[in-house]
Chain A
């Protein structure tokens, strides 16, 4: 037993089960320290419909504004990925009515120029950096907007691979840019227009169309159960 007892990770906070005081949308509640912001909502008896999605930090449904004790700075987080602490105050962000441009990605003739028709506000960035500070995924959003405007679509697509489309960069923009939507357009254009066509893929599609694997299929599909088991065992 002694052997086993040394194999336990210290989590004094779990045993203490300390309660902390937090503020949800301006109302005070007591909740266990260290639970996530979304669990704090459930703990206080609130039904959550809007404001929860994947619960794994990928979908951006639970974008939240929060402030910690005595700090004037309002920060952003994903509610499923943030632990509560004493004196914390938070509100889940309602959906923000940003304008999404509509486009047919495949028929774009000049995607880098089309950006200015679809999102004419994109070049009006005034460099305030509020979008970057608002990003819970730590993307350099402001830099991305500039790179998009200057036509460096490849860099934008790489920088925004982490974007969960929570939209927290949009309400803070004084030029009414929706950086996440601009980046999504740019990334799709990069993929559809400025990335090499994978030759191997086309070859494989043609092989399937031409029936290159037909004999092998015939052989495999005509096997009885045991033959198939044995055949599977030979695949290494």
Chain B
């Protein structure tokens, strides 16, 4: 059927739906729903990791293969450093920029290396906002409790307390750097309500929050003349005789040369894993989200936490084809957008946590109440025109300019027609286990941002990622910098590789892949012979 004909049911049922309130699930119902429909509970997608610090723990097969993968580095290579620095930051997204800026401001020499350009990251795409308890009726404790509830009580309390308490000072820092958060008429920060939060707490820059923050942080990194190594992909870490981290080896993607960097400490801010397309899901993630930091730190002996749980964002685009997997911001639901099945019914409280909303969308589709596309996809409607109906014409355009433009390019006006959505692989809830200074169990190896684990428990709350990046980027940068003065540069070896390889051999060897992946293999190797018909 023509898409407009199918959309009619959404228009026809809008007024009736506006009068409904859908209660949130009880804890028992919510657990039942998640266990039945959430991809985290599809046991066939998981297997135990064979060896290494998390031997025996289960994770998705795509990640297990990379963690058990071999390094591209041979044990007898020349490790004479090309660069020497106090603090080496790997990754140029939000956490990496924050870490580099704070370490630099403390007087350390900093090198920031990234496999794409400075700023190419998921951070730049964050649309929903950043949770900080600035409203008078809100508090850091309430922020803590909301996050804990969203994370199924599995969050690391120390990390979480640090994050919510440092939030307000992070907002101040960003404002002083020139970030333009949305304001109320009285000049105070405007706060929006996010999924799973009991109070309005999202600071936003329309639906460009991540972009605005990243434009400013990138510009500041350049203004501070922090040394950059762009298009340099980390392929191995370096360790001294005591197993402490002392630097990294990179592959320069322009000339394929090896680059050795000696550092007193290393901060991995390498982001997430969306481009592994776990369980075949499309992803909202950027080109480089291949979990490199997890593999690198795992081989060094760093323990991972919660790596069996991933976030499938409820609203990834399903139509048109060109936008598959791209995010339709949760902000639309924050402002009252309904999720509607093929029968024109709402089926979940749209502001429930992401795992609950995603599970319920999957349920609707599996039980035959989804809308299918000829390319074999399925989804439910997100009633975007409702926002204009509710808050006046022009609301969608004013509050969601990025979304408007993205669909407009394909002839779709989301202020007039609903969009078809289905969960998309969005975020790695777990990662490398860290302490409240962002350090791993490997001394002088820090991990910040999405690559780290523990803070978000089993489900990250909307808007907590941007804050995570800024808080733990800062703490890793400050801690690493504070050590630089009193610490000599350690020896550069790859002894940890020897240990890892010996263990791999004992357990039936490697998975057969070289990790980290660096970039997804989207390039078609063999032309289809029959394609030209």
Q: Which residues of A contact B (CB under 8 A)?
A: 4, 6-12, 14-15, 19, 30, 32, 34-36, 39, 42-50, 52-59, 61, 81-83, 100, 102-106, 137-138, 157, 161-165, 184, 187-192, 195-205, 208, 213, 216-217, 220-221, 225, 228-229, 231-233, 235-236
Interface centre among B136, B141, B253, by most A CB within 10 Å? B141
**Which residue on chain B has the smallest CB distance to residue A201?**
B134
- CB pair A163–B125 under 8 Å, yes or no, is no
In the assembled complex, which residues on chain A have CB atoms less than 8 Å from the CB atom of B180?
A: 157, 161, 187, 190-191, 195
- CB pair A187–B178 under 8 Å, yes or no, is yes
- CB pair A14–B231 under 8 Å, yes or no, is no
- CB pair A4–B188 under 8 Å, yes or no, is no
Cβ of A208 to closest chain B Cβ, rounded Å: 6
* Chain B interface, number of residues (Cβ within 8 angstroms): 94
Q: With A10-B1, A59-B120, A102-B222 in contact, do A36 and B372 touch (Cβ < 8 Å)?
A: no
- CB pair A8–B523 under 8 Å, yes or no, is no
Partner of B405, one of A104, A162, A221, A233: A162
Could you give 7 example pairs across A and B, Cβ below 8 Å? A7-B370, A9-B374, A43-B524, A184-B215, A188-B177, A198-B175, A208-B165
- CB pair B148–A14 under 8 Å, yes or no, is no
Add 15 more A-B contacts to A14-B321, A34-B322 (CB < 8 A). Answer: A11-B374, A46-B523, A47-B523, A55-B287, A58-B211, A83-B410, A102-B225, A104-B223, A105-B178, A106-B176, A163-B215, A197-B187, A199-B188, A216-B141, A228-B153
Cβ of A117 to closest chain B Cβ, rounded Å: 15
B527 beta carbon closer than 8 Å to chain A: yes
Contact with A along B203-233 (1 / 0, CB 8 A): 0011010111001101110110100000100
Cβ of A168 to closest chain B Cβ, rounded Å: 15
Cβ of A17 to closest chain B Cβ, rounded Å: 8
B73 beta carbon closer than 8 Å to chain A: no
In the assembled complex, which residues on chain A have CB atoms less than 8 Å from the CB atom of B139?
A: 213, 216
Counted as pairs of residues, one from A and one from B, with CB atoms less than 8 Å apart, the total is 241
Q: Identify which of B47-55, B78-86, B166-174, B462-470 touches chain A.
A: B166-174
- CB pair B231–A50 under 8 Å, yes or no, is yes
Q: Which residues of B contact A (CB under 8 A)?
A: 1-3, 6, 27, 116-117, 119-122, 124-125, 133-136, 139-142, 144-146, 148-149, 153, 157, 161, 165, 168-169, 171-172, 175-180, 183, 186-189, 198, 205-206, 208, 210-212, 215-216, 218-220, 222-223, 225, 231, 253-254, 284, 286-287, 319, 321-322, 326-327, 342, 368, 370-375, 401-402, 405-406, 409-410, 420, 519, 522-525, 527, 531-532
Partner of B373, one of A14, A52, A161: A14
In the assembled complex, which residues on chain A have CB atoms less than 8 Å from the CB atom of B176?
A: 106, 192
Interface centre among B139, B180, B231, B342, by most A CB within 10 Å? B180
In the assembled complex, which residues on chain A have CB atoms less than 8 Å from the CB atom of B322?
A: 34-36, 81, 83
In the assembled complex, which residues on chain A have CB atoms less than 8 Å from the CB atom of B210?
A: 58
- CB pair B372–A8 under 8 Å, yes or no, is yes
In the assembled complex, which residues on chain B have CB atoms less than 8 Å from the CB atom of A199?
A: 186-188
- CB pair B149–A8 under 8 Å, yes or no, is no
In the assembled complex, which residues on chain B have CB atoms less than 8 Å from the CB atom of A10?
A: 1-3, 374
In the assembled complex, which residues on chain A have CB atoms less than 8 Å from the CB atom of B525?
A: 45
